[in-house]
Amino acid sequence: MKVKSLLKDIAGHLPLTAELKWALRHRNGRIQSRFRLPLLEERGAELLRQLETSAISPATGRQVFLFASSHAWLMHILLVGLTLRGLGYRVKLGYLPYGHYDRPVNRFDLRLQDLYARHWLRPFEKYLEIVPFLSLPPAFLLPAALQEALEQITLFDTQYIRQSEDISPDDPIYALRAKRNQAAARRALAFFRRQRPDVVIVPNGMIQEYAAVYEAARFLAIPAVTYEFGEHNHRIWLGQNRLVIHHQIDELWESRKERKLTSEQRRELEEFLAGRQGLSTGEQFAHLWQKTSPEGGKKIRATLGLDKRPVVLLPTNVLGDSATLGLTVFSRSMSEWLQRVLVYLARRTEVQVVVRIHPAETWTVGPSVAEIIQQVLPQLPPHIRLIGPKEKINTYDLMDIADLALVYTTTAGLEMAVRGLPVLVSGRAHYRGKGFTLEADSWDEYFAKLDTALKNIPQRLTPEQVEQAWNYAYTFFREYPRPFPWHLEKIGQHIKEYPLSLVLSEEGRVQFETTFRQLAGERLSQQTLAADEKPTR
């Protein structure tokens, strides 16, 4: 630790040091730190006015506890908390003032960031109870089951940050995350024992302090709701007493699996999928991974120099992404699956193999999938083609020429099944076991099914399987994401488009109230959720 940071850490443990600096140097409520709440600085007073001029229901509903551990999420859960209060819930908002989840911060600066957050949150105390976690007394000991859960969270954190599945407990990131997760869990456990809420709401719930608070709640049998955002504008994923990132929609699917899509539903899904491919601008997306316009299968086959042999397409996930963590079935990791399968395919020269590295790798810091492959195949055989994340090739063009798909958990597997392609799934993907994919529970079974699939090319899915894939895709893409006003990635834009006063108005309640009630842990019937509510503005 540098001398300045060491001195600040010592000062941070002395009473009133941070408070004195705040009073002398930060009377304007501003600090120079990555932990900043610019939207709150600029629009906090306006938010308060909007809430006060809205039809606020009396606070007689369930007691809801929300939590965030970073500036990015704190503004979001504040908006969620204010909306829930407007709907009549009793709301407590807990937070930790971290600007980085992967870098240490000295105690003095952390306390200063906490004072900054308190300053800008104070005006809302009329409606919410603010709970600064730094001030909470921690539980003295953690139960063994909760401690075990924290060890798994810390492993996931380190894999997520390093974007690598090969992690050592000696990694300084591992030590940092273990310390922070422990502190958050001990404080949450003690607080929930003293003031037990009816429901705990956290973003994600699988990693970092969010997971620590989620696990503390579940250990005490407190209902917990996790939520996340995908590519949809004005849509949210949420899971009640489950990790949302795993997309466990079995209950919803059970009520839909016998359905036959109407022509209108099919057209709607077609338009949505066209938007994902970059073929249409009709659907609004918060982000899209495909940056290159599709050119068609014939052209891409010529571009890649492929001959007439069948094509096996293997689109990868991002290493260490939370969409892959904890989802192994028979392999130790996605890396092991990828390596063993490519070694097997290196001998199968009767087919051509195209490995498409996820375009999101452009933004990652860890090892590339290409490095993982190079460990077992330093020289790729001529029939295996590796497409890097920056190559200007649209993944959907590759689907056009594929005869068989091999996937871990990527949602591309679902989209290929919709096209009638046989898809062999190895990880615990949310669409696994729904009647239109191939899957295995052991290596022997996997390679047996792969061998059979290669021999059966160009066999496609049956019409009944394709229809089921369309039905599931509609359920997953169009019904599972609930209507929601503010996407995390576009929060500044969205609070202008959907101000709090509008969300709490009669019009806004028609669009979004059922989602907020789900967030508050209410169990709503599938009949209630059946209508595909869409923002109308």
What confidence tens digit (pLDDT) does each residue in 129-141 have? Answer: 999 999 999 999 9
Instruction: Tell me what pLDDT residue 362 has.
Output: 65
- Identify which has the larger pLDDT, 26 or 85: 85
Average pLDDT over residues 456-473: 96
285, two tokens: 């997306």
Residue range 276-479, CATH number: 3.40.50.2000
Task: Return the closest-CA partner of residue 319 out of 409, 446, 425.
Answer: 409
**DSSP-derived pairing of the beta strands 90-98 and 129-132:** parallel
Task: Return the closest-CA partner of residue 48 out of 123, 128, 130, 117.
Answer: 123
pLDDT one-digit tens code per residue, 483-507: 999 999 899 999 999 999 999 999 9
Task: Return the closest-CA partner of residue 529 out of 474, 484, 480.
Answer: 480
**DSSP-derived pairing of the beta strands 235-240 and 482-483:** antiparallel
Task: Give 87's contacts (C-beta < 8 A, 6+ positions apart).
Answer: 57, 61, 504, 509, 513, 516, 517, 520
Give the dihedral sign, CA 151/157/159/162: negative
**CA 366 to CA 319: how far, in whole Å?**
8
pLDDT value at 78 more than 60: yes
Q: Fold identical between 3-246 and 276-479?
A: yes
Instruction: Tell me what pLDDT residue 16 has.
Output: 65
pLDDT band at 277 (very low <50, low <70, confident <90, very high): confident
Give me the helices (H) in 67-169, please. 71-86, 107-121, 144-162
Full-model pTM? 0.91
**CA 227 to CA 229: how far, in whole Å?**
7
- Contact indicator for 117, 97 with CB cutoff of 8 Å: yes
- CATH architecture, range 3-246: 3-Layer(aba) Sandwich (3.40)
What residue ranges do the domains of the chain occupy?
A: 3-246, 276-479
